Amino acid sequence: MTSTIDPKPTLAGDDTTEITEHVVRNGDIHVAYFVQGNPTGETILLTHGWPDTHHLWDGVTPLLRDRFRLVAIDNRGAGKTTNPKNFRDFRLTEMASDYVAVANAVSPDKPVHVLAHDWGSAASWEAICDPELEHRFASFTSVSAPCASHMSKWVRARLAHPTPKNLALALGQIGSVLYMLAFGTPGLPNLLMKLLVNETRWRTGLSIGEGAPAEQIHLGPTFSSDITRALRVYRANAIPAVLHPEDRYTNVPVQVIVGKRDPAIRQSCYDDEPIWNKQTWRRVLDGGHWLPFSHPQVLAAATVELIDAVSGKPPARALRRSEMGKSRKPFEDHLVVITGGGSGIGRETAREFAREGAEVVLSDINLDGAKETVALIEQDGGIAHAYQLNVADEAAINAHADEVFANHGVPDILVNNAGVGAAGGFLETPAAEFKRVIDINLYGVVNGSRAFGAKMAERGLGGHIVNLSSMAAYSPQQKFSAYSTSKSAVFMFSDCLRADLATHGIGVTTICPGIVHTNIISTSKISGVSAEEESRMQQAGDKAYAMRRYGPEKVAKQIVRAVQKNKQVVPVTPEARLQYLNNRVAPGLGRFFASKGGMTDLMKLIPGQKEGR
């Protein structure tokens, strides 16, 4: 193996956006590769599949080049690399030898990191699983393509134990890759590609299928020839990979990334990777096959996290929870942010998430209450952090979000729980009181969703937002206009937010508690009555709610379950579910009873506590 490299060096201090073209000779193949980024940084090799070129990574490289030296390779038959005459020269081992040649040329004395996609990933597996070559690689991030031998072994293992589940998994994966046999047929696929596919159609189709803007579909100038020339990779590898799998092990740290909607590769086919790899992480994204186009930020971040971890830095939370072969609690290595966590439903929700392994950041306008919740969590062996926050203050919640990002990272789950109770006739409720309720109950949710949701969407890993509404959102009644309006607005806001964030993989759950005994009743402002009567009614209402014997811990369990199952709307308590159904089937019935009386009328009938009790 001999190599020749463009003699122009890229010196430290040069513009990291400059791209220099180089060639290394591997036997009869002249392998083209393109260098950019920080010349003093660690080297990342970027490889691609069919029908792409090194331009596949054009959306990812800008996110990495300030820190790393990036070397993007054109595969055989693609871009500026030699197009072999014989289809056998497209075998994975031959392609892998090209990558090794480039690695030896650009970093002869130090291992390189690899970020690979599709056939580029399948070929990279051949190199990192070669005991004589694995020392050349520091880490491997494999996108949308498993090791061919690993997948074949996985299918055979399922068929050897033909339970209904195993058969479904194996046959499903086999069905997903049958197209490879068709693509490997001589002649016809090439003709169809020439007749039916052009750059515009391909870009449009990928944009629709992958959910990525057309401008993020980066195709090379040689696309029209690459799409037919590089098809021979299927003929060279499809059948051998199935018929002749080998035991392929590696000590290289491996991170596999797959899309939920990948039509060719299913996440389950990676289930046995811990058998073959010393250490494996698996990330499943809400995307298709061409993740470099749809999720460039996620791929860049994931690659950096793995490189940092193998370099000795503490692994990032997202990487920790992706490690395969380890048992963990449902929300272990998840960050949960909860507002109004100093008491009631917020406190119990924080404790429940902590029991399930989450690290919790909780806030409350009452800092002492928040600290008490943290103490309870720590007594149970959990991790939690307390902050003081007025959710009605947009500037304060934005500053709080920035502090959380800096100290703890971007949350995986946000629970907008903070709220206040309020009662009293509309005409007796001062405008300032009405606004106070709206500001806390509605705008607290809006402010929190905006402050944290933006970062969650930008991160690209999905997440979940829980908004606390109420049965009052769909239960009209007298003397609850401010409270019911605020909670009804939260309900509709959540429906709209769910639609807006769906493309980011962020779920939204609306929780609608019914009669739940918390301190919200005893602290509710009741307009239109004297202070003495307000106190009596608060005590009476609290007593009535206590008699219901439905505590906030039950709501907390339903919140956690709703996040696990990505439920959209969860009425909590039987009466909340019954009224939710009634409001859909016979809403006029609820309006009729609302005109006859309300909760405050019942509160007036309940005797207050005697003095001294």
Helix, strand or coil for residue 346? Answer: helix
Q: Which residues pair with 277 in a beta bridge?
A: 250
CB 113 within 8 A of CB 45: yes
Other Cβ atoms within 10 Å of 55 Cβ, number: 21
Q: Taking a C-beta distance cutoff of 8 angstroms, is the pair 44, 64 a contact?
A: yes
> 604 to each of 322, 358, 475, 608, how far by Cα in Å?
55, 43, 20, 9
Residue 502 CA, distance from chain mean position: 11
Identity of the amino acid at 446: V
Question: Residue 51 corresponds to which tokens in the numbers above?
Answer: 């029908």
Determine how many CB atoms are found less than 10 A away from the CB of residue 159.
14
Buried b or exposed e, range 178-206, using 16+ CB within 10 angstroms? eebeebbeeeebbeebeeebeeeebbeeb
Phi/psi for 381 (5° steps) reads 90, 10
483 is known as an active-site residue: yes
The DSSP string of 448-469 is HHHHHHHHHHHHTS-EEEEEE-
Q: Is the peptide bond before 476 cis (omega within 30 degrees of 0)?
A: no
d(CA 452, CA 418): 15
With the CA atoms of 315, 316, 317 and 319 taken in that order, what torsion angle do they form, in degrees rounded to the nearest 10?
-70
What is the separation, in whole angstroms, between the first and last Cα of the chain? 92
Instruction: Determine the length of the chain.
Output: 613
CA distance to 82, 167, 581, per residue, from 406 (Å): 48, 47, 44
Catalytic one among 387, 483, 545, 550?
483
Cα Rg, the chain, nearest whole Å: 30
Query: CA–CA separation, 545 vs 551, rounded Å?
Result: 9
Sign of CA dihedral 316, 318, 323, 328: positive
Q: Residues 504, 512, 486, 338: is their CA dihedral positive or negative?
A: negative
Residue 325 carries which side chain, given as an amino acid letter? G
One DSSP character per residue, 422-448 reads EES-TTTS-HHHHHHHHHHHTHHHHHH
Active-site residue set? 483
